[in-house]
Every structure is written in structure tokens, then in C-alpha cells.
Structure 1
Amino acid sequence: MEQDKTLNNEVDNEILNGAEIEANQEEKSTKEENADAELTSQNVEEIQNKLKEKEKECDELKDRLQRTMAEFDNFRKRTTKEKAVLYEDGIRNTIEQILPVIDNFERALGTAQKDEQSNSFLQGMEMIYRQFKDILNSMGVEEIKAVGETFDPNLHNAVTHVEDEAFGENEIVEEFQKGYIFKDKVIRYSMVKVAN
């Protein structure tokens, strides 16, 4: 019996030891879970803070990108306008340089037509003159109408004045030099004689 008692005592001790070990393991597990829970809540807070920082950084970058895109769009529009203005100024300056040549053609043709009508040289000059006029028309350059029109200081330059009852009030009776207009801007004003 004693042996049974000893055996029972040993079994009881082992059970107690096992229970203690289990209790220790549960306590340890609970502590670890609590520590993990604390670490997890700290980690969650850190992650949330980092996430907020990254969102703020992302918003700042997005704002800078939008501003840069708007600045580039404005630059592109401004450059396009400047190119158009420079192109028109270049055309206008070129036309201003060509106009004296056209004037000389007109004078030469005016005097030559009085002399001979069948001259082949004269015909060649007329063809070149027409070609000049066609090129100007294709570029959008138009002659300013003068003779018979009412004087307009925005288009005409009155160099002389004549009193004549045969003409109306401020009527242009003679054109000394043709005027030209390009895209609603006067390149050269018509030099005219105005009646009354």
C-alpha cells in the first residue's frame, strides 16, 4: 500500500507540476498576448501616423504637380500667341519692304501703257505685276479702297483738299499712293486728295 501511496503521491506531484506548468504557460501566454496587444496598438498608432504623413506628402506633391501643369499650359498658350504675333509682324514687315517695288511697277506700267500697247516687254512687266498682286492677296493683304469712298482717317491720309461741288462731302477724288491692309491692321495708309 505504501507503494500505492508513493505512487499516488508521485502522480499527484506530477499532476500538480503539470498544472503549475500549464498555469505558468497560460500566464506567460496571456502576458505575451497583452504585450503583443500593446505592441500592436503602438504599431497601429505608428502606422496611422506614418500613413497621415504620407497622405500629407502625397497631397503636397499632387498640388505641386497641378500647379506645374497649369504653369506649363499657360506657358504653352503664351508661346503660341507670341509666335502668331511674331509671324504676323514678320509678314507685315516683309510686305512693307515689297510695297515700293509694287509702286514702281504701277508707275512703270502707267507710263509704258501710254506709249505702246503691243510691246512684249510691257506684257511681261504686267504679268510680273499681277503675280505680285496675287501673292499679296493669297497672304491676306488687301488694297484699301480710296477713290469714290468717304474719307476715313483710320485708312486714309489726306495730303490735299479741294473744293468742288461735283463731289460729295469728304469724298476721295484722287489717290496718290495706294494703301494696304493686313488682317484688319493698316500696313500703309492711302495718300489721297479729299473734296469739300
Structure 2
Amino acid sequence: MTETTENKDLVQEQQDVQADTTAENVEQAEVQEETAELSIEEQYEAKLAELQAKLEDEENRHLRLRADFDNMRRRQQLDREAAEKYRAQSLLSDLLPVLDNFERALQVETTSEEAASIIKGIDMVYRSLIEATEKEGLQVIKAEGEPFDPNVHQAVMQEQDSEKETGIVLRELQKGYLLKDRVLRPTMVSVNE
């Protein structure tokens, strides 16, 4: 009896496999019929839609690349302008101690006429140097009597003056300089508490 049951099960499995295969064959035939049923006109329309989608993708890609290129060109132009604007920064930074030394030399008190003429010559050289640096955009940062600004001032000490407001610069200890709109050296100051 078991053999008969096993045979029946085998026969049933074979019939199920054949039914599945037949169903798959029917589905494939239907798909082929649908494709064959598409007229040539519909096939062209489908192909045209596909090509239009590809063209649109390529146009979008082209526009993005062009925008990237324009942005890169704009950045390079800004970099060139900044390099031109601040081309003298290194030289002027090196000249700041020279200006300080000229100012110290001009503060020396003279008693003889010889020393006075030397000081006069130093003053002439100092003024011509100041004119040349101002042509390049060097400016002195104003400090005394101004409110303390941490962007352009460096507080190195605090003092008390009851006649002035808190946070006002009382004394300038070392001059600070700007190159156009960039701080080359902040002004060292004493600030009112």
C-alpha cells in the first residue's frame, strides 16, 4: 500500500510541475503577444520617450557642469583680486618695525644744531616712507579715546580714569596698522577699567 501511495504522490508531483510549466509558458506567450500587438507607431513613441528622457538628463548634467565651471571661474577671479589687493602685505609687515624705529628716533630731544639737522633729515625720510606706504593702502588704526575694539586693539594693561567711560582706550603703547580692510598689526593699548 505504501508503494501505491508513493506512486500516487509522484504522479501528483509530476502533474503539478507540468501545470506550473504550462502556466509559465502561457504567461511568456501573452507577453510576446502584447509586444507583437504593439504597432510600429507605438514602438517608435516608446523609443522617442526613452530618448527624450536621456536628452533631458544630459541637458541637466550639462547645466550643472556649466554652473560648476562658472563658480570656479568666479572663485579664481576673487582670488586674483585679493592677491592684487594685498600684494604689498608682506613688504609692509616687514616695514612696520622700521616705522616704529623712525618714530622713536624722532622723539629724541636735541640740544645741538647738528642733532636738530639730523632729526630733520630723519623726519623727511620718515614722511616719504609714510607717503609710500599710504599709497599702498597702509593706514594707522586710531586708538586713544576710542572704545576698545578687540578686532583692531590688543589690550596689554588696564588703568583707571574716573573721568572717562569704562572700555575706552586711555593710551596707545604701540601703533597698529591696517592694509586696506585687513589688520596687519593690532594697536597695543591700555584700557580704562
Pair in the same fold by TM > 0.5: yes
Q: What is the letter of the counterpart of residue 137 of structure 2?
A: G
Please state how far the C-alpha of 1:67 moved relative to its aligned partner.
5.8
Post-superposition Cα deviations, 1:96-138, rounded to whole Å, max 9, x if no partner, equal 111111111111111155776741x322211111122112222
Please state how far the C-alpha of 1:151 moved relative to its aligned partner.
1.9
113 and 175 in structure 1: CA distance in 2 versus 1, 3 angstrom threshold: farther
Residue in 1 that maps onto 2:99: 102
Higher alpha-carbon Rg: 1
Residue in 2 that maps onto 1:11: none
**Cα distance in 2 between the residues matched to 1:157 and 1:67:** 47
Correspondence 1:1-196 to 2 at 5 A = 69-111=66-108, 118-119=116-117, 121-165=118-162, 167-170=163-166, 171-196=168-193
Q: What is the letter of the counterpart of residue 98 of structure 1?
A: L
**Cα distance in 1 between the residues matched to 2:57 and 2:156:** 66
Q: What is the letter of the counterpart of residue 186 of structure 2?
A: Y
Higher helix share: 1
Q: What is the letter of the counterpart of residue 184 of structure 1?
A: D
Please state how far the C-alpha of 1:90 moved relative to its aligned partner.
3.7
169 and 115 in structure 1: CA distance in 2 versus 1, 3 angstrom threshold: farther
Contact 1:180–1:186 at 8 Å: present in 2 too? yes
Q: CA RMSD in A?
A: 3.4
**Cα distance in 2 between the residues matched to 1:68 and 1:114:** 74
Q: Which runs of 5+ in 2 are unaligned?
A: 1-51
What is the percent sequence identity of the aligned residues? Answer: 36
Q: What is the letter of the counterpart of residue 192 of structure 2?
A: A
Q: Which runs of 5+ in 1 are unaligned?
A: 1-54
Contact 1:156–1:190 at 8 Å: present in 2 too? yes
Give the match's secondary structure for 2:139.
strand
67-76 or 146-155, which deviates more = 67-76
Give the match's secondary structure for 1:111.
coil
Residue in 1 that maps onto 2:23: none
**Cα distance in 2 between the residues matched to 1:134 and 1:176:** 23
Contact 1:151–1:172 at 8 Å: present in 2 too? yes
61 and 89 in structure 1: CA distance in 2 versus 1, 3 angstrom threshold: same
With structure 2 as the length reference, what TM-score do the two structures score? 0.59
Q: What is the letter of the counterpart of residue 150 of structure 2?
A: P
**Cα distance in 2 between the residues matched to 1:109 and 1:153:** 29
Q: What is the letter of the counterpart of residue 156 of structure 1?
A: H
